[in-house]
């Protein structure tokens, strides 16, 4: 596969020197807008755990174990994702360029598997992290399984029990659940779904929905960047917000919105965040 198929970030760093503390390399894979929004806080947490500069740790701790996050963007939703890469300060180490005009789902899946395998071969990560139920997430989990690399699944356990609704997401997420080694369920109900399917309770953690963390990241950026006041004005345009089938109250500030997803942990909060960014960014 030539460089026209997979692009690698020019400043991609070389492996760490042997004398540095042990690193757990984590390949974070996303391809769509919901994935980048919900995985941005995960990448940030990995960076913070790795210490300043994302690849350094406190050298005073000789036994320190830190993370080395590597970002892989498949390009499944390029136009919708790229603005969010800038907002969340994410610079993909790999861009797989998988999309083609009029590409069938089978063709997309095949291209994802082949190109993800190349990235896995080059990086040899300890873990692959995926989110949700996209074809990108399913293919990344399967490609990692083929290379016996552990998989962590963010937002695990959502189910409708109808394999064609949503299509193909319902089957994608069921497959991921049986390929993953750790399951980060957003709710207790999602955890129960996984347990009913025979997955180990020791591998399941109820973490809440990372979109709440993404919203907090955006609120912090509004305070630091100076466009928070413009955001407040734009928020007046948002009249009603739905969450779990109910209508939210009108809100004049971003902070009042932040409190709602914090209580509910609803998947619908993704639409709130997208609305804030789309309407509020100068």
More confident residue, 267 or 178: 178
**Statement to judge: residues 56 and 171 lie in one domain:** yes
**Statement to judge: residues 275 and 164 lie in one domain:** no
Of 140, 173, 206, the one marking the end of a domain is 206
pLDDT at 75 over 60: yes
Instruction: Confirm whether 10 is domain-assigned.
Output: no
**Statement to judge: residues 101 and 191 lie in one domain:** yes
**Statement to judge: residues 98 and 149 lie in one domain:** yes
pLDDT computed for residue 51 by the predictor: 55
Distance CA 67, CA 56 (A): 9
Instruction: Confirm whether 6 is domain-assigned.
Output: no
**Statement to judge: residues 201 and 230 lie in one domain:** no
Of 179, 206, 233, the one marking the end of a domain is 206
**Statement to judge: residues 141 and 44 lie in one domain:** yes
More confident residue, 11 or 83: 83
pLDDT at 35 over 90: yes
Per-residue confidence at 131, pLDDT binned at 50, 70, 90? very high
Instruction: Confirm whether 215 is domain-assigned.
Output: no
Instruction: Confirm whether 218 is domain-assigned.
Output: no
Beta strands in 181-224 (DSSP E): 182-185, 204-206
**Statement to judge: residues 182 and 109 lie in one domain:** yes
Q: What is the domain extent for residue 268? A: 225-280
Per-residue confidence at 218, pLDDT binned at 50, 70, 90? confident
**Statement to judge: residues 114 and 229 lie in one domain:** no
Of 175, 206, 237, the one marking the end of a domain is 206
Full-model pTM: 0.73
CATH number (domain holding residue 90): 3.40.50.2000
Per-residue confidence at 128, pLDDT binned at 50, 70, 90? very high
End-to-end C-alpha distance for the chain, whole angstroms: 40
Once rounded to an integer, what is the mean pLDDT over residues 244-262?
33
More confident residue, 40 or 1: 40
Instruction: Confirm whether 16 is domain-assigned.
Output: no
pLDDT digits (tens, 9 = 90+) for 170-214: 999 999 999 999 999 999 999 999 999 999 999 999 999 999 999
**Statement to judge: residues 173 and 269 lie in one domain:** no
Share of the chain above pLDDT 90, in %: 55
Instruction: Confirm whether 13 is domain-assigned.
Output: no
Among residues 275, 273, 247, 239, the alpha carbon closest in space to that of 258 is found at: 273
**Statement to judge: residues 101 and 186 lie in one domain:** yes
Instruction: Confirm whether 3 is domain-assigned.
Output: no
**Statement to judge: residues 66 and 201 lie in one domain:** yes
Per-residue confidence at 244, pLDDT binned at 50, 70, 90? very low
pLDDT digits (tens, 9 = 90+) for 224-243: 766 655 555 545 544 333 33
pLDDT at 273 over 80: no
CB 182 within 8 A of CB 152: yes
Lowest mean pLDDT among 21-35, 162-176, 202-216, 261-275: 261-275
**Statement to judge: residues 197 and 108 lie in one domain:** yes
Count of structural domains, the chain? 2
Instruction: Confirm whether 217 is domain-assigned.
Output: no
Per-residue confidence at 66, pLDDT binned at 50, 70, 90? confident
CB 185 within 8 A of CB 156: yes
Please compute, for residue 22, the number of CA atoms within 13 A of its CA located in the half-sphere on the CB side.
5
């Amino acid at each position: 596969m030539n460089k026209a198929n997979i692009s690698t970030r020019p400043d991609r760093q070389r492996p760490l020197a042997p004398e540095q503390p042990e690193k757990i390399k984590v390949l974070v894979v996303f391809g769509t807008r919901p994935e980048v929004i919900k995985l941005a806080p995960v990448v940030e947490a990995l960076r913070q755990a790795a210490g300043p500069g994302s690849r350094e740790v406190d050298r005073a701790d000789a036994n320190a174990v830190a993370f080395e996050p590597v970002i892989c963007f498949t390009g499944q939703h390029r136009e919708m994702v790229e603005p969010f890469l800038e907002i969340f300060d994410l610079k993909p180490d790999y861009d797989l360029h998988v999309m083609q005009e009029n590409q069938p789902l089978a063709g997309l899946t095949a291209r994802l598997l082949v190109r993800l395998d190349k990235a896995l071969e080059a990086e040899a990560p300890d873990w692959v992290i995926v989110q949700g139920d996209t074809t990108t997430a399913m293919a990344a989990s399967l490609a990692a399984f083929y290379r016996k690399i552990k998989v962590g699944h963010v937002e695990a356990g959502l189910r409708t029990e109808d394999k064609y609704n949503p299509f193909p997401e319902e089957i994608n997420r069921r497959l991921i659940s049986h390929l993953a080694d750790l399951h980060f369920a957003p709710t207790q109900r999602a955890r129960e779904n996984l347990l009913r399917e025979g997955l180990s309770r020791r591998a399941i953690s109820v973490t809440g929905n990372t979109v709440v963390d993404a919203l907090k990241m955006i609120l912090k950026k509004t305070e630091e960047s100076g466009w928070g006041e413009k955001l407040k004005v734009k928020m007046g345009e948002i009249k009603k917000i739905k969450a779990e089938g109910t209508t939210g109250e009108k809100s004049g500030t971003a902070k009042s919105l932040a409190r709602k997803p914090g209580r509910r942990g609803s998947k619908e909060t993704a639409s709130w965040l997208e609305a804030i960014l789309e309407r509020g960014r100068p």
